[in-house]
Amino acid sequence: MLQSKSFVKKTRQGRVVKVVREHYLRDDIYCGAPSCMTCNTSAARLSTSASTILIVDTNVVLNQIDLLENPAVDDVVVLSVVLEEVRNKNLAVYNRLKALCTNSLRKYFVFSNEHHKDTYVKEMVGESPNDRNDRAIRVAARWYQSHLGVNTQVLLITNDRENKRRAIEEGISAETVESYVRSLGKPDLLDLVVLSSSADVSMEDVEDLRPSKKKVIYSEHKPMSEITSGLLHGVYHQGKLRVNRYNPFEAYVGSESIGDEIVIYGRSNMNRAFDGDIVAVELLPQDQWRDGKSMIIADDEDDEEEDVHLVPSSADDAPRNENLVQPSTGSVPPVSGRPAGRVVGIIKRNWHSYCGSLEPMPMPAGNAGVAHALFVSKDRRIPKIRIQTRQLGNLLDKRIIVAVDTWDCLSRYPSGHYVRTIGEIGDRDTESEVLLIENDINTRPFSSQVLACLPPLPWSLSSEDLAKANREDLRHLRVFSVDPPGCKDIDDALHCMPLANGNFEVGVHIADVTNFVLAGTPLDEEASQRGTSVYLVERRIDMLPKPLTEDICSLRSDVERLAFSVIWEMTPDTEIISTRYTKSAIKSCAALSYVEAQARMDDSRMMDPLTTDLRNLNSLAKIMRLRRIERGALTLASPEVKFQIDTETHDPLDIGMYQIREANQMIEEFMLAANVSVAEKILRHFPLCSLLRRHPSPTKEMLEPLLRTAAAVGLDLDVSSSKALADSLDRAVGDDPYFNKLIRILATRCMTQAVYFASGDLSPSEFSHYGLAARLYTHFTSPIRRYADVIVHRLLAAALGIAKLPPIFLDGPQLTGIADNLNNRHRNAQMASRASVELHTLIYFKKRPTDTQGRIVKIKSNGFIVFVPKFGIEGPVYLVPKGDKRADWVVDEAHQRVTKAGSNITYGILQTVRIHMEVVEPQPNRPKLELTLI
């Protein structure tokens, strides 16, 4: 049967045209029920024994997807009209629904009601698209009931009162989500039900009965029409809200319209915005552009003490508002030059599921009713979330996942619902899963479609590989690799061969991943989404399937492998005479660890060819490193922590700082050189679509904490350029050997992180890498574990004429999107790695209270922040108990010290102190590492 659909639309040129589309209707679309006597049941997805079949409307899918994913809810028919509407409204929920419908273990069936002659409905005159879709759902429900007969109940699930009323009038069984879940006799399932706004208000009433909680009222969000107009006229400014990781009452909105970050102080000014939301911001009057610390504490009762954590590795990790000293009574905080503002509307929400636990509370009377609990996310940037639960006793000692539903302007906290339990608080596996979920790390097994892209195993180099004109046979070279101990995903190897003219041929050979990961395949799509491998203390989550990571691509010793090589001829003084790039075949003769390579170089008795190669490379690397530093490259420091793990229990046995050897620096130097050479080559050929890596210069504001600390200890640092700063850091020598490293660690945390970008998005003056003092830089040397390097391999192959450039490189916005995703994935991987180290540090000290030395790195009004070099962590030491308002200690901000009133007891910046480290439980099931002064 043929129907025609017509509608009018506006073209890009502004003309209005009428569009007529043919719409084919059929009568052979099957219902999906195996008990059906008239349909072909070979493709049936519903249960054989199903006595009730559910049909859900669009809003039920959009709001109750957590419930639908629970195995207790099955035998669901998803109408095509619902599927399409969900796809248009929320792509994330659509993808979850599609996963349900394709999961062979679940009983979800997609019925094409829009193409069945008995269920297709035409839009009536004056009928809205929403009303038409509701009618289509009711027509399909009525058809299913008559089609399947009296032995099967067809139940329409809808929270829309009008839709439910009309369904019942038309003889269709219909229930709300809550009434259906209650009928299942599983009270715990009710925790997954997203409450309606009326239920939300009743929770608010319960909350307000508690005298300790003050009712907070937020401003109403402006309507979208007003926001759009305000943005157009410069009254409002749009940007993504980023909440300070260390201070949840301080946030930033990067605004292109004013070319600066707008600071948002306090929850009332954040006005119910979450980290990651796209918001509209109104600037506050300039006399309110103040340092916000005092405002923040007054603004919210939830001021939490700072936890012990890993030392920040960049300004992106560190607290943004470094001056945490309270102004003396009566003083006015100075007006800063940074604009401050308040959120007036949410343009796009970034709500998702959050990991955490319930705030400890007494059990409600009877232990069987509904408890109103507060959920505290592990991520301090997320506000507490109110939920209802019928299983409080089971959840108080658990890590759980909660989703946000609403945040009413009359409510102090957002409302949400319980999704699932992860495990017990403090359990290593549970906490590891939490940190992976928190950082959006994909740990799902690779799909069959992805694995189908892999070559058959066992793989070996074939004559066809060698016969390719663009692949050079370098198996005769003495190639070797140097990596951390136990490394299985070996990306890179080197060779160093003296030439007759006194120069050296040096080659960096990188795994030829793109020979196996072809553009546009499911394997490539998966790697692109994952972006990077993730390294935790006890495990590795791979970007690529293990057969590629540890075998086919890994440049293991004594096996022939495919590589992409950069080969230089350089003088003994490291002047590069020539550079060539080639696909190659190599055979590594040794896979050394850094310790083994260093031992060979240090042992004067060893004179074998491999050791000689290592020494030659090391001599060249030292000269290259010196030249790089002379150009202004920074030698920064970050305290990397290394664990010794029990092979059976996987608990940490020992903890200490990771030792950097000359062998590490040697490999680093040649990897940097290869990345620079490749960056120059690809940009020369593809000036608009190369993927590069830049490191922005730190702003004066970012360097302020370092300058203040340096001045307090009598150091004069010149930060006018990276060269000036590098020279200043070299001169920063104190009485003890650790002083210089400490200053370099403080300098590191003032820097922003380096980022990927598409060369067409910025001007050449913005391409540079501040930390490396490099005009151009990219990532080429780790394609097994970084997707950025895979992209760069494709660019280099195209530049050499070996392969065609994939079409994606010609799509500017898509390439920018890839770069943004890589930056996000890289950041998430770093944060997951840090969280894993912090978790294992907590586990280690649980049974090992320790006395050790620390260095004061920040003065506060009630104590100071101490850095513990041995363990790479920092945390607060309180001189005054939290909440104690006595002014026993006086802060001298100019000299960065705090003195006890009426005494000569003083603590100053960078001073060494003895501290006691111990895991305590101030609240049940809430272990934390505490530092106290000895």
Mind listing the pLDDT tens digit for each residue in 780-827?
999 999 999 999 999 999 999 999 999 999 898 999 999 999 999 999
Q: How many CB atoms lie within 10 A of CB 307?
A: 13
For tokens 């106290």, what's the residue?
932
pLDDT greater than 90 at residue 517: yes
The counts of H helices and E strands in the chain are: 25, 38
DSSP-derived pairing of the beta strands 534-535 and 173-175:
unpaired
Helix (H) or strand (E) segment spanning residue 93: helix 91-102
| Inter-CA distances, 871 with 838, 874, 911, Å | 10, 9, 17
For tokens 């939301």, what's the residue?
277
| Inter-CA distances, 176 with 130, 155, 196, 359, 419, Å | 19, 10, 11, 31, 19
How far apart are alpha carbons 672 and 674 in whole angstroms?
6
DSSP secondary structure of 755-782: EEEEGGGS-GGG--BTTTTBSS----S-
Q: Among residues of the chain, what percentage have pLDDT more than 90?
A: 55
At 400, is the pLDDT very low, low, confident or very high (cuts 50, 70, 90)?
Answer: very high
Helix (H) or strand (E) segment spanning residue 92: helix 91-102
- The pLDDT, as a whole number, for residue 316 is 53
pLDDT greater than 90 at residue 43: no
Half-sphere exposure of 420 (CA within 13 A, CB side): 14
pLDDT greater than 60 at residue 396: yes
Q: Which of 770, 789, 787 is nearest to 778 (CA)?
A: 789
- The pLDDT, as a whole number, for residue 461 is 92
DSSP-derived pairing of the beta strands 278-283 and 250-255:
unpaired
- The pLDDT, as a whole number, for residue 631 is 86
- The pLDDT, as a whole number, for residue 157 is 96
Helix (H) or strand (E) segment spanning residue 6: strand 2-10
Higher pLDDT: 288 or 878? It is 878
Inter-axis angle of helices 662-685 and 609-630, nearest 10: 70
- The pLDDT, as a whole number, for residue 7 is 59
Q: Terminal CA-to-CA distance of the chain, rounded, Å?
A: 86
How far apart are alpha carbons 790 and 866 in whole angstroms?
41
User: Quick one: how far is CA 495 from the chain centroid?
Assistant: 37
- The pLDDT, as a whole number, for residue 223 is 93
pLDDT greater than 90 at residue 386: yes
At 452, is the pLDDT very low, low, confident or very high (cuts 50, 70, 90)?
Answer: very high
| Inter-CA distances, 820 with 121, 691, 693, 813, Å | 43, 11, 12, 10
> Given CA atoms 357, 361, 366, 370 in this order, what sign does their dihedral have?
negative
- Tell me 837's DSSP state: H
Mean pLDDT of 277-299: 67
Q: How many CB atoms lie within 10 A of CB 712?
A: 18
At 305, is the pLDDT very low, low, confident or very high (cuts 50, 70, 90)?
Answer: low
Q: How many residues does the chain have?
A: 934
How far apart are alpha carbons 501 and 587 in whole angstroms?
26
Q: How many CB atoms lie within 10 A of CB 72?
A: 11
pLDDT greater than 60 at residue 241: yes
The tens digit of pLDDT for each residue in 641-698 reads 777 777 777 777 777 766 778 999 999 999 999 999 999 999 999 999 999 999 998 8
- The pLDDT, as a whole number, for residue 736 is 74
Structure tokens at 611: 């050791």
How far apart are alpha carbons 598 and 618 in whole angstroms?
10
Listed in sequence order, the residues at least 6 apart from 285 whose beta carbon sits closer than 8 Å to its beta carbon are none
Q: Among residues of the chain, what percentage have pLDDT more than 70?
A: 89
How far apart are alpha carbons 669 and 234 in whole angstroms?
48
Mean pLDDT of 475-487: 93
- Helix then strand then coil, in percent of the chain rounded to 5, is 30, 25, 40
Write the single-letter amino acid at 751.
M
- Tell me 551's DSSP state: I
Structure tokens at 924: 């049940």
pLDDT greater than 90 at residue 640: no
Higher pLDDT: 575 or 314? It is 575
At 20, is the pLDDT very low, low, confident or very high (cuts 50, 70, 90)?
Answer: low
**Range with the largest mean pLDDT of 335-349, 696-710, 756-770:** 756-770
Mean pLDDT of 725-749: 83
For the ranges 312-326, 447-461, 663-677, which has the lowest average pLDDT? Answer: 312-326
Helix (H) or strand (E) segment spanning residue 18: strand 16-24
- Furthest C-alpha separation in the chain: 96
pTM of the model: 0.82
- The pLDDT, as a whole number, for residue 298 is 30
For tokens 């054989």, what's the residue?
48
Mean pLDDT of 47-75: 92
pLDDT greater than 90 at residue 45: no
HEC-encoded secondary structure of 253-303: EEECCCCEEEEEECHHHHCCCCCCCEEEEEECCHHHCECCHHHHHHHCCCC
- The pLDDT, as a whole number, for residue 324 is 34
Higher pLDDT: 364 or 495? It is 495
For tokens 């190669």, what's the residue?
613
How far apart are alpha carbons 772 and 42 in whole angstroms?
63
At 330, is the pLDDT very low, low, confident or very high (cuts 50, 70, 90)?
Answer: very low
How far apart are alpha carbons 227 and 223 in whole angstroms?
6
For the ranges 247-261, 337-351, 573-587, which has the lowest average pLDDT? Answer: 247-261
Write the single-letter amino acid at 265.
Y
How far apart are alpha carbons 635 and 740 in whole angstroms?
11
pLDDT greater than 60 at residue 301: no
- Tell me 187's DSSP state: G
pLDDT greater than 80 at residue 369: no
For the ranges 502-516, 616-630, 917-931, which has the lowest average pLDDT? Answer: 917-931
- The pLDDT, as a whole number, for residue 888 is 80
Q: Which of 218, 543, 255 is nearest to 413 (CA)?
A: 218
How far apart are alpha carbons 732 and 435 in whole angstroms?
38
Mean pLDDT, the chain, integer: 86
